[in-house]
Structure 1
Amino acid sequence: MRLLHTMLRVGDLDRSIAFYTEVLGMRLLRRQDYPEGKFTLAFIGYQDESEGAVIELTHNWGVTAYEMGNAFGHIALAVPDAYRACDDIRARSGKIVREAGPMKHGNTVIAFAEDPDGYKIELIQRN
């Protein structure tokens, strides 16, 4: 077994694709409309689906926003330098909601960004 993808429901698919590709540097791997079901799926990631886990963005036609709830936590990305990653994300008009620095009760350097729908992305510095 292996992890294939994580699905996120988004209110504006093009805006979300732009964030994940232009701000976080992922690639749009595939996109398909399902007219009978009135939804579109887009798969994004840093590598092909055959090689690693990706994110599935689901846009249900006519739905522009979702309640975030309190069960989902975040998506985590490894970065070589969390401080620089924050600067790069800001330079691409991304939103940083927790600046880079050591995590509470530990030494690992982390930061958090937020996508257009409010999903949190943790940046974990890996040397």
Structure 2
Amino acid sequence: MRILHTMLRVGDLDRSIAFYTAVLDMKLLSRRDYPEGKFTLAFLGFGGGNADGGAEIELTHNWGVEKYELGTAYGHIALEVDDAYAACERVKARGGRVTREAGPMKHGSTVIAFVEDPDGYKVEFIQRKA
């Protein structure tokens, strides 16, 4: 088994696609409307997504729904980055929101940071160890 994708429900699909592509440098791999079900699915990832063994993010937009309650169970998506400090600066320069600046995690030495997407989902940056 392997992880194929994680699905997030979003209120404004174009805004979310812009965040994941323009701010986090993901690629829009596919987008498809399902008129009978009144929803649209967009798949994003790095590289070729599932085709090259990578996991994807599925953004689901249910037509007519502009906002979701995130609840208390959801944590975050984690992305490995070469330099968490530089990644935070890129996010800020592109209009993204950093909610925890890069630095060592509590009780450890791994360098992490957190950013937030337009719907409030957290994305963690974990700096690649040398």
Normalising TM by the smaller chain, what interval?
over 0.9
Aligned AA for 1:81?
Answer: D
Provide the residue aligned with 2:69 in structure 1. Answer: 67
CA distance in 1, matches of 2:47, 2:31: 15
2:101 partner amino acid:
E
Could you say which residue in structure 2 is the equivalent of 1:22?
Answer: 22
Q: TM-score, normalised by structure 2?
A: 0.96
Aligned partner of 2:37 in structure 1 is 37
Gaps of 5+ in 1: none
Question: Aligned runs of 1:105-120 on 2, under 5 Å?
Answer: 105-120=107-122
Could you say which residue in structure 2 is the equivalent of 1:76?
Answer: 78
Which residue of the partner structure matches residue 4 of structure 1?
4
**In the alignment, does 2:103 pair up with 1:96?**
no
State the TM-score, normalized to the length of structure 1: 0.98
**In 1, Cα distance between the equivalents of 2:66 and 2:59?**
13
Q: Is the partner of 2:118 in helix, strand or coil?
A: coil
Map of 1:87 onto structure 2? 89
- Per-residue deviation, 1:57: 0.1
Consecutive unaligned residues of structure 2, counting only runs of 5 or more, are none
Per-residue deviation, 1:47: 2.0
Runs of 4+ in 1 over 6 A off after TM superposition: none
State the alpha-carbon separation in 1 of the partners of residues 112 and 4 from structure 2. 25
Q: Which amino acid aligns with 1:26?
A: M
Task: Say if 2:51 is the partner of 1:50.
Answer: yes
2:112 counterpart SS class: strand
Opposite residue 59 of structure 1, the aligned amino acid is H
Shift in Å, 1:50? 1.4
